[in-house]
Amino acid sequence: MSATVTSFTDLGLSEPLLKAVREKGYETPSPIQAQAIPAVISGRDVMAAAQTGTGKTAGFTLPLLEKLSKGGTAQSRVQSNNVRALVLTPTRELAAQVSDSIATYGKYLNLHSTVVFGGVKINPQMMRLRQGVDVLVATPGRLMDLYNQKAVRFSQLEVLILDEADRMLDMGFIRDIKKIIALLPKQRQNLLFSATFSADIRALAKGLVHKPLEISVNPENSTAEKVTQWLTPVDKKRKSAVLTYLIKENAWRQVLVFTKTKHGANKLTKYLEAEGLTAAAIHGNKSQGARTKALASFKDGRVQILVATDIAARGIDIDLLPNVVNFDLPNVPEDYVHRIGRTARAGNTGQAVSLVCADELNLLVDIEHVIQQHIERKVLEKFIPANELGESRAIRPLKAKKPKKAKVEHKDGQRSANNNNSAKQGRRKAKPVASNRRRNNNT
């Protein structure tokens, strides 16, 4: 399909949607759009592996709006508190981004949508849902809160979309997702989008999608081809100085910086401001208002540097972001792929720079294994580290991951693993307190 599609007019979209697409300046669909849009319009379930910057959001919002608009345009069709389509996302920022996409492409259609997430008052969201909506975009935690308060019903639901499903699993939303799925009508269309088809994602998909069209537009854990990646060895205590030097020396006007912790993000932001640079931090402890303000200031150029933690950065969508800096390497190597995917989006180029200290060598080795390449090293003469960064190791080929064995729910509520792990291991895997804390910070 994608090889012969050269225009959005070939994909079965109606004129109101094509008009909105033209106004955005898009002419040629991306590979995922060329494959997903006709499949969704035809009613097929879709399971797509698509990384940031591939155009996946339009890949499901455009056909979703097409289907809903053809199903009837009378406002009274949606009953009070009901929704026709549900889009689940892991973070507030991504929910807002998807909601904006629906509003942009659906501007010439008589359809109604809204977005709900935590961190803001629930009453205005309940009021909007009373009228019924065609499309509801939601984070799992807030959606369950609204359902428990009888503010949302699913008897008219036609389509379920899970966006960035891999991140939802990482953030501990699996229980909420399963609860939500159990509440929905069995006859519905299902779309699942994930950065990769991991074993956990395939396990989730098994009970969700039916005879899906599988789309994969990037090799698993591949890094964007147009991203220039390099690292500089540096002593941990001099990382802030090195970052400041790079920004000033190269006159970087827009930089997204990743730190490991919320405290680290705040500390670095204060340092950069003391150096005369404009910076803002974005993480789970910030209020939704503060996060939205920081992101808006970064996008329009009032803030030069946005310092973010991994989870808070999901959903940051900036087409022309030129520079991403890994101030700290991530503990999870796949997060490196997500991080640098923030640049070189939609065919543009960009660079990803990592500041790596000696005690991060093992993290670097894991990242290079996942991306199947060595990252170029550049030594800054002014910042030669006292603690030498060791050599990278030979790249080992990736092995296919074995699916995790499912956990069994007993009548007394206790859980055990199907394999022969000890009870201690089973307890260590289940951390409801930690999962809830992550969820509360980010939904």
Torsion 169-172-178-180 (CA) sign: negative
Question: Average of pLDDT values for 263-268?
Answer: 95
pLDDT at residue 423, as a whole number:
41
Nearest to 217 by CA among 14, 33, 413, 25: 33
292-351 tens-digit pLDDT: 888 889 888 899 999 998 766 665 666 668 899 999 999 888 888 878 877 655 556 688
- Distances in whole angstroms, Cα of residue 137 to Cα of each of 200, 417, 440: 23, 34, 18
Please report which confidence band the pLDDT of residue 231 belongs to, taking 50, 70 and 90 as the band edges: very high
Q: Where are the domains of the chain?
A: 8-216, 227-383, 407-442
Strands of 246-327, DSSP E: 255-258, 279-282, 305-308, 323-326
Domain 8-216 is in which class? alpha beta
pLDDT-above-90 percentage for the chain: 51
Please compute Rg for the chain using Cα positions: 22
Q: Is 268 helix (H, G, I), strand (E, B) or coil?
A: helix
Please report which confidence band the pLDDT of residue 94 belongs to, taking 50, 70 and 90 as the band edges: confident
- The reply to whether 8-216 and 227-383 are identical in fold is yes
Helix (H) or strand (E) holding 104: helix 92-105
404-443 tens-digit pLDDT: 444 444 433 344 444 444 444 444 444 444 444 444 444 4
Alpha carbon distance 306, 295 (integer Å) = 8
Torsion 73-76-77-78 (CA) sign: positive
Statement: 227-383 belongs to CATH 3.40.50.300 = yes
Q: What is the pTM of this model?
A: 0.60
Alpha carbon distance 440, 443 (integer Å) = 6
Other beta carbons within 10 angstroms of residue 267's beta carbon come to 15
Alpha carbon distance 242, 230 (integer Å) = 14
Instruction: Give residue 35's identity as a one-letter amino acid code.
Output: Q
Q: Which two tokens stand for residue 323?
A: 């520079």
Location of structure tokens 């660079």: 351
Provide the H-helix boundaries in 227-278.
239-250, 262-274
- Distances in whole angstroms, Cα of residue 120 to Cα of each of 116, 224, 286, 292, 295: 9, 35, 12, 12, 17
- Distances in whole angstroms, Cα of residue 164 to Cα of each of 169, 286, 306: 9, 22, 22
Q: Is 42 helix (H, G, I), strand (E, B) or coil?
A: coil
**pLDDT over 90 (residue 68):** yes
15-41 tens-digit pLDDT: 999 999 999 888 888 888 999 999 999
372-410 tens-digit pLDDT: 889 999 999 999 999 999 888 887 776 654 444 444 444
Alpha carbon distance 103, 114 (integer Å) = 9
Alpha carbon distance 2, 339 (integer Å) = 27
